[in-house]
A and B are shown apart, each in its own frame.
Chain A
Amino acid sequence: MAKTVMQTHNLSKNYGELLALNGVSLTLRQGDVYGLVGRNGAGKTTFFKCVMGLARPTAGAIEIGGGGIEIGGGGIEIGGGGISLSAARRKIGFMISPSFFPYLNPKESLEYLCRFKGIRVKGEIERLLALVGLDSVKKPFKAFSLGMKQRLGVAGALIGSPDIVVLDEPTNGLDPQGIIDMRAIIKNANTQTGTTFIVSSHILSELDLVATQFGFIEQGVLLTEISHADLHENTKETLTVEVNDSKKAHAALCRMGAECVIEDGRRLTLRSHLDRPHEIARALIDSGLELHGLHRQEATLEEYFIRMIGERDAKNN
């Protein structure tokens, strides 16, 4: 298993009565493209603010690169692995609402970052500007479109090849081509330099094409962390069977080797034999059952997410 590069332990953040983060324990492993998914106001940006030291956690701890740990509540910061959390944060590039000085052009904006971060890699600025497609842009930041601002923000986050890159809603305001380009930028940086990404979005399908790991956040609670493969396992196609007796149908289907689950007294879900509905229908009728319905279903990633929220709400109620 890949090394853990960032971890939060029961991270909580209150704004008065509002619990913006509630015991978030998130693990980011080296080489991951971690998709943090949640609706607007779910706590994604607050989480990033806490990680980057822009907001002080109310409780919990943050560990970056095994280097630093910050304990919330008292705001105590203790060293770990030889470096402080502040020093550990220098290994992170981030973009939370891209903003640069309005009078600087893209090259000058990145030069400013290079000087501030003490980066002296020749050709780094030109490389990054080419990567985000702003190499020929000479106009100042104030004249940028939202998409151009996002691109420059990502270039700024990638400068100096940080170990971890935090991107908050990087596809906001991008046109379809821009979204494709953004995914390519993340994928390239991830595969070529091994950069670990944590990317937030409220559009799950966008992250689906790039993320290797997902975390679902809702009302400040991290509902689950799941790998890309497991997520697709949970969202793959199923056959729904509606009969007069689901137990009897379950027995009949198991006899023919089908993988099925009883949903309720009249409904079953099959995860196998998806391409043989006629055989399933015959087996059920041969067993003396009344077949009321047989249809194919595919849960989208969004439906999966909404189902999880529903399950959580049901548990809370």
Chain B
Amino acid sequence: MLKIINSEIYRLLRKKSMYVYFCSLAAGYFLVAFIRSGGFGPQSIVSDAFNFFNFLPVFAGGFLFSAIYTDDLSAKNLTLLVGFGTGKATIVLAKLILTALCGAAVFALAPLLLYVAHAALGWPAAAGTMATVCAVSLKYLLATLGYSALSGIAVYGLQRTTFAMVLYVLLALNVVSGLVTVLLVNVFGERLAQILTSCLLSGITDRILGGIISGGPIAPPAVEYVAYLAIAAAVSIAAFERKEMEF
């Protein structure tokens, strides 16, 4: 598994478009921050964290998902991994760990970017404020990892790049959770649906963030979150085992 992660990190670091893409995102944020800097205050960085990190699962996570998962399909790299005798469970887990590592790097740099931008524009954030910003970033990192794990089922079960990518984007844009919520409200009524939607990935990550910021319980949503990942990984492995490699 370590060898897969090692080789994958090697090739991801050589994907030049990744640097161009993330630098463009950072430059775009700097530009928007500069334009809005006249209205900045001590808490602006927190509202920016909520407003901008909300888009990271789509824009940053989407790129990572494409680079880690769907690049493999288009380069037929999965055939190489399987043909070398690598277990399909090992591949699924290695990819999930790799997504967590790359996501952690991106979502660790995001608060740093906000800090640098706000400091450069005359509003350096206090340590407490930065802690909140980091917590918001963590929420979206967890969401990104969860969406990747769920979309991974399409990658392994269908081996169709476009379908997997569309599924990821729909999850990251909360289209899927929106549809599920509407369905739950219609089937179970508003009250029960509210409880059930809190068990969706977006609800779980919200509860984790709430727990961190306001000191509420983190363990129950954290366990639910891990269960999400475990179930998604198990379904991915089962789907991968059933599906023959496409050429």
Does any Cβ of B come within 8 Å of A73's Cβ? no
Q: Nearest residue in B to A119 (C-beta to C-beta)?
A: B3
Does any Cβ of B come within 8 Å of A248's Cβ? no
Docked CA distance A104–B83 (Å):
21
Q: A96-B247, A112-B10 are in contact. Are A90 and B85 (CB under 8 A)?
A: yes
B11 lies within 8 A of A54 (CB): no
List the B side residues contacting A94 at CB < 8 Å.
83
A49 lies within 8 A of B84 (CB): no
Docked CA distance A88–B83 (Å):
11
List the A side residues contacting B71 at CB < 8 Å.
101
Q: A52-B83, A86-B87, A104-B11 are in contact. Are A99 and B77 (CB under 8 A)?
A: yes
Q: Can you list the 7 inter-chain pairs with the closest CB atoms, starting with the nearest?
A: A89-B85, A115-B7, A86-B85, A116-B7, A52-B83, A99-B76, A54-B245
List the A side residues contacting B6 at CB < 8 Å.
115-116
Mask for A78-117, Cβ within 8 A of B = 1, else 0?
0000000111111010101101111110001001110111
Does any Cβ of A come within 8 Å of B54's Cβ? no
Given B10, B76, B244, which contacts A97 in the complex, CB threshold below 8 Å?
B76
Q: A112-B11, A116-B7 are in contact. Are A102 and B83 (CB under 8 A)?
A: no
Does any Cβ of B come within 8 Å of A293's Cβ? no
List the A side residues contacting B80 at CB < 8 Å.
113, 116
Docked CA distance A2–B14 (Å):
44
Does any Cβ of B come within 8 Å of A55's Cβ? yes
List the A side residues contacting B7 at CB < 8 Å.
112-113, 115-116
Mask for B5-16, Cβ within 8 A of A = 1, else 0?
011001100111
List the B side residues contacting A108 at CB < 8 Å.
10-11, 14
B79 lies within 8 A of A54 (CB): yes
Given B4, B75, B86, B247, which contacts A45 in the complex, CB threshold below 8 Å?
B247
List the A side residues contacting B105 at CB < 8 Å.
none
Docked CA distance A117–B7 (Å):
9
Mask for A31-66, Cβ within 8 A of B = 1, else 0?
000000000000001000100111110000000000
Interface residues of A (CB under 8 A from B): 45, 49, 52-56, 85-90, 92, 94, 96-97, 99-104, 108, 111-113, 115-118
User: What are 11 A-B pairs with beta-carbon distances under 8 A?
Assistant: A49-B244, A53-B82, A54-B244, A55-B245, A89-B85, A96-B247, A97-B247, A101-B71, A108-B11, A112-B11, A115-B3
Interface residues of B toward A: which range?
20 to 34
Does any Cβ of A come within 8 Å of B81's Cβ? yes
List the B side residues contacting A53 at CB < 8 Å.
82-83, 85
Chain B contacts with A in 5-29, Cβ cutoff 8 A = 6-7, 10-11, 14-17
Docked CA distance A88–B84 (Å):
9
B75 lies within 8 A of A87 (CB): no
List the A side residues contacting B17 at CB < 8 Å.
103
Min CB distance A99 to B, Å, is 4
Docked CA distance A53–B6 (Å):
23
List the A side residues contacting B86 at CB < 8 Å.
86
List the B side residues contacting A113 at CB < 8 Å.
7, 80
Min CB distance B10 to A, Å, is 5
Min CB distance B230 to A, Å, is 23
List the B side residues contacting A104 at CB < 8 Å.
11, 14
